[in-house]
Amino acid sequence: MTTTGGPIIEVNGLYKRYGKVEALRGMDLMVPRGTVFGFLGPNGAGKSTTMKILMGLVNPTRGEAFLFGRDALHAGPAARSRIGYLPQDPEFHTDRTVREILKFAGRLYSGGMNPLTLRRRVDSLIERVGLVGKARRRVRALSGGERQRLGIAQALIGEPELLILDEPSAGLDPRGRREVIDLIDDVRQHTTVFYSTHILDDVQRVSDAVAVVGGGRMLAQGSIVEILGTPTDTYTAILRGEPDGLRGRVGNEPWVAGVETTQRGELEEWTVRLADESAADRLLPLLAGQKGCDVIEFHLSDRSLEDAYLEIVGDTHGE
Amino acid sequence: MVTEALPLQPITGSGPWRGLTGLTGAEVRRWLPWRALVMAAVGIGVLVLFFAIWRIAGAEAEGRLGVLMIPFFSLWAIALTLVTATAAQGAVAGEVDEGTAAWLMGMPIGRPAFIVSKVLGAVPGVLAAVFGAGLIAYPVFSYASSVEIRAFSARDILDTARMPIGSDGFMELPATSEYLGLLVRMSLFLLVLVALMVLLGAIFRSAGMVLGLGVVLAVGLFVVGVMDIAGVVDATPAGLISGLLDAVQAESAPLVGPVLVSLLWTFGLTGLAAVRFQRRDL
């Protein structure tokens, strides 16, 4: 699926205040159609509030939001019939069974879908989310993880164009988490997936693009490659042997901001962050020029999404 | 990241009634059978209580229907009001509090449909409870009054004037049509109460607050109905209570006017609830 056709979600200058708490402070967001889009940020950053506003569950204090190019704040059932939504901590009528919940939801989406087709779809989803054997169990008897699986199945029942998943892996064991990621990977062919999570490895594995939010506003948005960027101030060196005091000498150079070392067998991995990027050409000669020390590797450091995330989020925690 | 902007346009066909059938069906299943059975059991319990008292009174109460029927309807109406208010208190406030309203509204369901389903879905349960217990009670009243049940006739509907109850408790058994009218009054009063609870649930988040205010307002209507305050009774569902008491005492009691007024109040309260709920954060 290509990303043409404009954004499927667009949010401009969204504010939301709960009493004295400002949950959103000018949130901007653009989710291209056809992408798997990770929505990242610390707790309280405004992820769930943004998703709830898009779903029409919460009214913004001010600002605008668009779904499928149309005003999301007055979208109503017509827009929601094209969306599958999994809230954080999904709640269902506890006196109904898994199958009843899915049939009820299916009828809301399917319109004229005949009962046999609906039953097949329900059976298929029950199997897909691993609830075979629990289909006749009442919701009140399900574990937290099983409810999460039911929520995912319910979000998929209408074969939506857009999936909005608020922490779909929460409460799941590692196997369940893997299954969610596989499921997102499966549906990406015909569905745009906008999901929030704290599991950055999963995001890096499956997402095309991410947005990092903090303190109720957008901090960074782009493709995974754009977000990771290429650090130009951090170098990794693999050394064999270490002359006395080398670490001190490197660390004391005015153009070095920090040194971290990790022992890996007989080798030692150094991560050196420079205070002055232009001093990079001085680092290798300094390391290689020491007697009793061989430089096995020397290159710019790779960054994980976690590194990039922590750098972007910085000190917005608790804002 | 570069994305092509799409011209923004208002959405049409939002379908505020979407999901009404499914939601109403679900709500009917909440009232039937268990809530309705409990409500009917309350009525039968009250009946058994006063029938036992009537029996214990022995010859003194012989043929005095008023001794059985008036206390029964008074206590039954109060008990049903409390049971219905308790049953309906969580209809909206409970769903919002438990997060199931957010689950439902995340699907293609109109908010007005959610609210209206809460009132519509209560109709079969309330009717089943009131008519279930009420129709069981009628043969008991017939037995107590030593009067055979009269067959339904069109004249009964028109001739609403009954023999007034005397201070000695002697009164005539209401005709079946009048007795059904009495049950209709009771049912409608409970439906107004359901609509009131739905409105309070759309305003307040606390189920306790909803129940407390609902009971206070219902008792207020009772008092107005019992006191038969002119003007207020005609314009409010208190007319149902006033008419209920008149009909129990076999006095002339208009039915059409209070029924229409109560239906208008039910629609009005439900409409207000829908408007309030439309902008509610879930």
Residue-wise pLDDT tens digits, A139-181: 999 998 899 999 999 999 988 999 999 999 888 888 888 888 9
For residue A315, give the 3-state DSSP assignment.
Answer: coil
Of A155, A226, A229, which Cα lies nearest the Cα of A193? A155
Cβ within 8 Å of residue A225, ≥6 positions away: none
Please report the pLDDT score of residue B44 as a whole number.
95
Question: B-chain residues within 8 Å CB-CB of A107?
Answer: 22
Please report the pLDDT score of residue B1 as a whole number.
39
Compute chain A's Rg from CA coordinates.
24
Dihedral, CA atoms, B48, B53, B54, B55, nearest 10 degrees? Answer: 90
Residues in chain A with pLDDT < 70?
Answer: 1-5, 110-113, 230-231, 242-243, 315-319
Cβ within 8 Å of residue A245, ≥6 positions away: none
Please report the pLDDT score of residue A14 as a whole number.
95
Question: B-chain residues within 8 Å CB-CB of A109?
Answer: 107-108
The two beta strands, A36-40 and A209-214, are: parallel
Q: How far apart are CA A284 and CA A313, in angstroms?
A: 31
Please report the pLDDT score of residue A111 as a whole number.
63
Q: Indicate the domain borders of chain B.
A: 20-156+170-278
Question: B-chain residues within 8 Å CB-CB of A58?
Answer: 281-282
Q: How are the residues of chain B apportioned to helix, strand and coil, as percentages rounded to the nearest 5?
A: 70, 0, 25
Please report the pLDDT score of residue B211 as a whole number.
92
Of B100, B255, B117, B58, which Cα lies nearest the Cα of A94? B100
Tokens of A263: 């022992």
Q: How far apart are CA B9 and CA B240, in angstroms?
A: 50
Q: Is B282 an 8 Å CB contact of chain A? A: yes
The alpha helices in chain A, defined as continuous H runs, are 47-54, 76-80, 98-110, 115-128, 144-156, 174-187, 200-206, 224-228, 246-252, 280-288, 305-313
Residues in chain B with pLDDT < 70?
Answer: 1-14, 59-61, 63, 146-171, 249-251
Q: Which residue has the tokens 């299916």?
A: A106
pLDDT single digits (tens) B193-244:
999 999 999 999 888 899 999 999 988 888 888 787 777 777 788 878 877 7
Nearest CA of chain A to the CA of B152: how many Å?
A: 42
Question: B-chain residues within 8 Å CB-CB of A78?
Answer: 11-15, 18, 108
Whether the CB-CB separation of A235 and A297 falls below 8 Å is answered with no
Q: Indicate the domain borders of chain A.
A: 7-228, 234-302
ipTM of the modeled complex: 0.79
Q: Is B2 an 8 Å CB contact of chain A? A: no
Instruction: Please name the residue of chain A whose CA is at the shortest distance from the CA of residue B1.
Output: A222
Domain A234-302, CATH: 3.30.70.260
Domain A7-228, CATH: 3.40.50.300
Q: Report chain B's terminal Cα–Cα distance, integer Å.
A: 33
Cβ within 8 Å of residue B152, ≥6 positions away: B175, B176, B177
Of B276, B278, B92, which Cα lies nearest the Cα of B194? B92
Task: Enumerate residues 96 to 125 of chain B having a beta carbon within 8 A of any beta carbon in chain A.
Answer: 98-100, 102-103, 105-110
Q: Three-state secondary structure along B39-54?
A: HHHHHHHHHHHHHHHH
pLDDT single digits (tens) B130-152:
999 999 999 888 888 765 444 44
Q: Is B6 an 8 Å CB contact of chain A? A: yes
Tokens of B27: 């709500």
Task: Enumerate residues 34 to 53 of chain A having a beta carbon within 8 A of any beta carbon in chain B.
Answer: 52
Task: Enumerate residues 20 to 59 of chain B having a beta carbon within 8 A of any beta carbon in chain A.
Answer: 22, 26
Question: A-chain residues within 8 Å CB-CB of B278?
Answer: none
Q: Is B252 an 8 Å CB contact of chain A? A: no
For residue B66, give the 3-state DSSP assignment.
Answer: helix
